[in-house]
């Protein structure tokens, strides 16, 4: 499974970056391969200052070695090694009418005394808009739901709720965005063999393309002004706050001494913090804030 | 002591904001007083889009109540209340040749079963330059040293080292800036009565003015270009990373449900994250990076 998943994310990375370059029309992804001292490495692909994407990363990493102490405690494991392999995508479009997008698919193997003790998939995808186009959000969630329903009618609701729970900026008491899917510890069981989970994961990979790309295509020619950009940069501040204060992926990366530039490829390019900024009453900006007050059902 | 210190920081806030407004010449501080639901409140004073200060805050807060569980564990206290009172200053100048400045002075009382169990002062001041003017840094540290030497010849070295240790961006393996002073748990003992500590704290308040203001005055007319601004915004990213990943003050504020806008007044106004940005060899930007690789002795 390790090898099969590893090959799959390599091909997904290639496929995604080609598709995104095609949409961007100006910039290409730059490749940066790196090695991790304690074991493994990765290939970071970055696009910057594009026509559509102000900054974006599609990062594959395959790391292994001794499980860090902090994680041993969490997983109740002793004398343990791990193998973690995944693809992460973060896209920060230039146009504030296009949402920021995040997704990742990952596979984890846990060894105790050199024997495989446990293995699972995880991942998800989610949308962080600056302006609300309800149709776009419904489209996004519908694609997510359809991909889930092929496997289990309970998956969508369960993973949608987990996503809302996870991407909650508790210090602001607001959602980071309008959610999507979040799943973790997807282990083989009576209903789902590990191969079936792998097939689910591949459908999620396809869902990344089917859910987000049409929104980019639809909104990339929308007009915007400097006030819209200002709002986008303020909201990106919330994105930074989430990633550095709450995001387990970022903290896992830092704890396992991952490559800092690859971890921080998720950071938005231009960000603002204005003291106590409040959008005007009845404005489009206020509409977003109200929607983020509590998770919504979109389908 | 609670009342004396409380009065002192109110007057320091007034004094500092008037001095800073005078230097800025364009903008005035806006006042925002706030109440904390669980007890206490504060007065946040913010300057934005000034002639000299792009963003700055001078924040007084006086909060009290039941000690949060996480802190009870840390302080090995049960059934405890606290009173915490302090002034925080963060100044982000517009001109990249002027360093960002941070300082705070604080007083903490810990009660167990409603009886005072412990009390101490803490605080410090530190400098985060974007470009290195060695004379300015030496001036800053000399003022810090002189203020310390009045009390104990060991204070400067001890508090300077603590500052270097504290403002270490471990995930980047570099210093946040060029340091200053950091002191905590300053309790009465054979050498220092609580009144003498209070006098030390007041000298630190004076040191804020004497150490930083001359640097602002000296550098505010320095010319700069868009590349200097770009570098300033990239380096401000490191400031954000420190505050959200490592800063105990920020995390204390979030844990005690402090007022979010007052806690985040420390955030820089405009920030950039560029993938794997590296300054040119032999450039002024590279000079800064090299200096931040390990703490230096400036006096």
Chain A residues close to B46, C-beta within 8 Å: 275-276
CA atoms within 13 A on the CB side of A270: 15
- Domain-by-domain residue ranges, chain A? 2-291
- Residue B295, pLDDT score: 95
Q: Is A141 marked active-site?
A: no
Tokens (6 digits) for B199: 């006098």
CB atoms within 10 A of CB B200: 21
pLDDT > 90 fraction of chain A, expressed in percent and rounded: 88
- Residue of chain A whose Cα is closest to the Cα of B32: A276
**Can you give the length of chain A in residues?**
299
Whether residue A267 and residue B260 make contact (CB cut-off 8 A), yes or no, is no
Query: A276, A277, A278: which to substitute to probe chain B, counting the most B Cβ within 10 Å?
Result: A276
- Residue B36, pLDDT score: 87
pLDDT > 70 fraction of chain A, expressed in percent and rounded: 100
Is the pLDDT confidence value at B19 over 90? Answer: yes
pLDDT digit string, tens, across residues A227-279: 999 999 999 999 999 999 999 888 878 877 778 999 999 999 999 999 999 99
What is the overall mean pLDDT for chain A? 95
Ramachandran bin of A77, using left for φ above 0, alpha for ψ from -120 to 50, beta for the remaining angles? beta
Chain-centre distance of CA B79, in angstroms?
31
pLDDT digit string, tens, across residues B160-183: 999 999 999 999 999 999 999 999
- Residue of chain B whose Cα is closest to the Cα of A236: B271
Min distance B54 CA to chain A CA atoms (Å): 10
Rounded distance between C-alpha atoms, residue B216 and residue B229, angstroms:
17
Provide the CATH topology of domain B2-291. Answer: oxygen-dependent coproporphyrinogen oxidase (3.40.1500)
Whether residue B171 and residue A241 make contact (CB cut-off 8 A), yes or no, is no
- Residue B32, pLDDT score: 95
Residues of chain A with pLDDT under 70: none
This prediction has a pTM of: 0.94
- Residue A69, pLDDT score: 79
Rounded distance between C-alpha atoms, residue B258 and residue B88, angstroms:
14
Among A48, A254, A270, beta carbon nearest to B171:
A254
Rounded distance between C-alpha atoms, residue B144 and residue B206, angstroms:
10
């Amino acid at each position: 499974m390790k090898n099969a998943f590893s090959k799959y994310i390599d091909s997904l990375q290639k496929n995604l970056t080609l598709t995104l370059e095609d949409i961007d029309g100006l910039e290409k992804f730059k490749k940066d391969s790196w090695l991790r001292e304690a074991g493994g490495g990765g290939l970071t692909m970055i696009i910057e200052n594009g026509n559509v994407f102000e900054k974006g990363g599609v990062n594959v990493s395959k790391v292994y070695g001794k499980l860090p102490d902090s994680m041993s405690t969490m997983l109740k494991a002793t004398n343990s090694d791990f193998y973690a392999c995944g693809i992460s995508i973060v896209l920060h479009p230039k146009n504030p009418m296009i949402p920021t997008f995040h997704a990742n698919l990952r596979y984890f193997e846990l060894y105790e005394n050199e024997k495989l003790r446990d293995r699972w998939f995880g991942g998800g995808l989610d949308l962080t808009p600056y302006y609300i186009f309800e149709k776009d959000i419904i489209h996004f969630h519908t694609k997510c739901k359809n991909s889930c329903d092929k496997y289990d009618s309970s998956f969508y609701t369960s993973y949608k709720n987990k996503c809302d729970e996870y991407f909650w900026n508790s210090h602001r008491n607001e959602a980071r965005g309008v959610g999507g899917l979040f799943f973790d510890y997807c282990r083989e069981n009576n209903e789902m063999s590990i191969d079936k989970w792998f097939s689910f994961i591949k459908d999620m990979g396809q869902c990344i393309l089917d859910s987000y790309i049409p929104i980019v295509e639809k909104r990339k020619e929308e007009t915007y002004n400097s006030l819209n950009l200002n709002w986008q940069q303020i909201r990106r501040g919330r994105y930074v706050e989430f990633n550095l204060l709450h995001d387990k992926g970022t903290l896992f990366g830092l704890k396992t001494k991952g490559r800092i530039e690859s971890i921080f490829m998720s950071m938005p390019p231009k960000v603002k913090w204005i003291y106590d900024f409040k959008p005007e009453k009845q404005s489009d900006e206020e509409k977003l804030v109200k929607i983020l007050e509590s998770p919504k059902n979109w389908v």
